Chains A and B, each alone.
Chain A
Amino acid sequence: MIQKDTVATIAKLARLEFTEPELMTFADQMNQILGFMEQLDGLDTSKIEATSHAVDIPGPMREDRVVESNVIESLLKENAPDHEDNFFRVPKVL
């Protein structure tokens, strides 16, 4: 069973914040869902390999070549929440 403080720790890792009641709800829901996942415990997978990709081919590689891109200008202008000159700006990192 996941306790509220575990949920709080996970939230911190995920950079999310919740109110107390939200934490309670999440703990309940997560317990319900994780409980549902317990049915996997019944399967013996000790000799089974993990599948992390749906395709079974070697990863492709590209030539070491530069392709110019100029997306930064419009990104800074149209999308950056805050910027100064050519920099993205964030609250001071202490």
Chain B
Amino acid sequence: MELHQLTIAQAIEKLAKKEISSAELTAACQQRIQQTESQLGSYITLTQEAALAQAKAVDDRRAKGEPLPPLAGIPLALKDIFVTKGVKTTCASRILENFIPPYDGTAVRKLIEQDYVLLGKLNMDEFAMGSSTETSYFKKTKNPWNLEYIPGGSSGGSASAVAAGQCLGALGTDTGGSIRQPAALCGIVGIKPTYGRVSRYGVVAFASSLDQVGPMTQDVRDSAILLNTIAGHDPLDSTSVNRPVPDYTQSLKTDVKGLKIGVPKEYFIEGLDAEVKKSLENALEQYRSLGAEIIEVTLPHTQYAVPTYYILAPAEASSNLARYDGVRFGYRSPNAKNLTEMYQKSRSEGFGPEVKRRIMLGTYVLSAGYYDAYYLKAQKVRTLIRRDFEAAFQQVDVLLTPTTPTPAFRIGEKSDDPLKMYLSDIFTINVNLAGLPGMSLPCGLSSQGLPIGMQLIADYFQEEKIFHAAYAYEQATEWHRKRPSL
């Protein structure tokens, strides 16, 4: 096995035993990037020299016998939505093309405190608005399983990089499925924790009441390791919840006897791809054979999730993106002759079409005369969607659903039809609306060789149940070992 293919857990062990050095590991990832990046386009920014220097510093300290934190010297990468002090943070937008943040966000700071190695910043949909990483101002990221296909989005660069071994793991963000959907389409593990579990401070905001940070990794154990590091209360984020963080690796058990798994019938709809459906059925069978109890449940308001989301998320986004005005940082149009033009031209030239579309939608649904009909209505439907889940979790420990209705689609296939694109998030969005934790993990490959993912959802702050169920399944199957032949 080559070094860049190591899981985080394996690398931690080898580093501790001094079988490898962090510099070797980092160099291996960088070599892999060099080899594949022109095909994949996963990264926006590479921090080559800094990464090697960080790795060497850790190696020196290890050689001196200094005690080191678990993630010391592990090469990871960040979606370019994470604010990184001194390292360009673009959010895949022209408006932040040259933005160099003067501060670090909380999740990043926690990684820094662990002495991780930052390989670079990963491509994404512009301001995380998209499901295919096609709306990036800089480049389109390809799916490492098939370069003609999208990697999913918005954390598509993260998913592609992890799947291709360009980094050992990555952080993404998930507002409507942006971690889970690309994880599914690239055959990796991605978890969106409970809203409030991980600080949002220093994460460029898309839709504040929905955004959540999470790890994207090769397997479930790595997911638990990274979540251990980044989870926890942050006094700088008012919506972060002050609640102890359990050691998620303690939940990695293979015995699921008596575990109640709910299957919401509303997810097995017409548009569901036959191969995805088959993979899910196989997974259920697997769980049954492991001793879990499968129970059909109902989430009656599922069909309303997409319209609800596409009112609430753009509304919040329209306000969150008002700060990109060309005054203090970011792009200012050289063509502006007065203040009004400074605003209009900077924003019109700085934002791409999808971002503008959502700002327009959001502005519209909040504007006088429409607020009640759209925004307030959607917030009420959000309550109904939450209640669906609350009822379901009276009966079961976790819910199991497909992550996406189909495997990855072709580049360009949906980019001219926003509504069609929005519907590709149909199975992930309501988890954000409810604020629940959800994980996608690999559960199959299509006949075309494209990954298929399944989603585990648990009640608030019950990530442990997800890790438990996911690990048991993973250990019983081989899907997580499959790698693209790139």
Contacts and interface: CB of A to CB of B under 8 A. Distances in A.
State if A and B touch, Cβ cutoff 8 Å.
yes
A53 to B, nearest CB: 6
Interface in B284-306: 301, 303-304, 306
A71 B367 CA distance: 35
Given A43-B384, A60-B238, A91-B338, A37 B327 contact: no
Interface stretch (B47-55, B106-114, B356-364): B356-364
B103 interface: yes
Contact of B102 (A6, A71, A94): A71
B465 interface: no
Contact of A79 (B328, B348, B380, B418): B328
Interface in A11-55: 11, 13-18, 26, 29-30, 32-34, 36-37, 39-41, 43, 45, 48-55
Contact of B379 (A7, A13, A15, A52): A52
- Chain A CB within 10 A, most for which of B331, B344, B360, B374: B360
B337 to A, nearest CB: 7
Contact of B367 (A10, A45, A82): A10
A57 interface: yes
A30 B327 contact: no
Given A16-B348, A33-B419, A40-B307, A92 B339 contact: yes
B363 A10 contact: yes
Contacts of A59: 238
Contacts of A7: 360
B376 A55 contact: no
B37 interface: no
B194 to A, nearest CB: 8
Interface string B410-446: 0000000011001000000000111100000000000
B303 A39 contact: yes
A68 interface: no
A29 B420 CA distance: 11
Contact of B336 (A62, A91, A94): A91
A66 interface: no
Interface string B113-142: 000000000000000000000000000000
Contact of A51 (B238, B331, B379): B379
B239 A14 contact: no
A33 B102 contact: no
Contacts of B339: 90-94
B176 to A, nearest CB: 13
Interface string B338-372: 11111111011001000011011101100100000
Nearest to B366: A13
A93 B419 CA distance: 40
B327 A88 contact: yes
B325 interface: yes
B409 interface: no
A92 B338 contact: yes
A74 interface: yes
Interface string A72-89: 001100111110000010
Given A57-B241, A71-B102, 14 more contacts: A14-B363, A16-B347, A29-B418, A33-B418, A36-B307, A37-B307, A40-B311, A43-B301, A48-B383, A54-B195, A54-B196, A54-B434, A54-B435, A94-B338
Ranked nearest first, the 8 interchain pairs of A and B with the lowest CB-CB distance are A54-B435, A81-B332, A50-B379, A45-B380, A54-B195, A71-B102, A79-B329, A15-B343
12 contacts: A6-B364, A10-B363, A11-B360, A15-B340, A26-B360, A29-B357, A30-B357, A43-B301, A54-B434, A81-B327, A81-B330, A93-B339
Interface of A: 2, 6-7, 10-11, 13-18, 26, 29-30, 32-34, 36-37, 39-41, 43, 45, 48-55, 57, 59-60, 62, 71, 74-75, 78-82, 88, 90-94
